[in-house]
Amino acid sequence: MIKAIVHLWGQERDIYGMPVPYHGYLVVASPWQSAGSGLASVVPVSGQPPQKLSFNFPVLQGGERAAFDAAIHALKSHPAHSGLSFEVHEE
């Protein structure tokens, strides 16, 4: 199982010093149904998630690492996250 917290944030700050915008996600990946497959799930933990963001990433080859990488790529490349700083804290 692969677990990570992903943070995306803008350069502006609100009156409390928090970045605007700010998004946090928990990404969990594990083996899936058949040999070599994997499934990653994205769970928003802060902020309002962008519309049309997928929350499940199944892959048939490459296992949990490929599913995890697909989820991270989707978060990075989503248009609502364009121009935001990005950080992954993987366990």
Where in the chain are the domains?
2-90
Tens of pLDDT, residue by residue, the chain (91 residues): 999 999 999 999 999 999 999 999 999 999 999 999 999 999 999 878 888 888 999 999 999 999 999 999 999 999 999 999 999 999 8
Torsion angle defined by CA atoms of residues 69, 77, 18 and 4, in that order, rounded to the nearest 10 degrees: -10
Distance CA 62, CA 68 (A): 10
Output the 3-class SS for the chain: CEEEEEEEEEEEECCCCCEEEEEEEEEEEEECCCCCCEEEEEEEEECCCCCCCCCEEEECCCHHHHHHHHHHHHHHHCHHHCCCEEEEEEC
pTM above 0.85, yes or no: yes
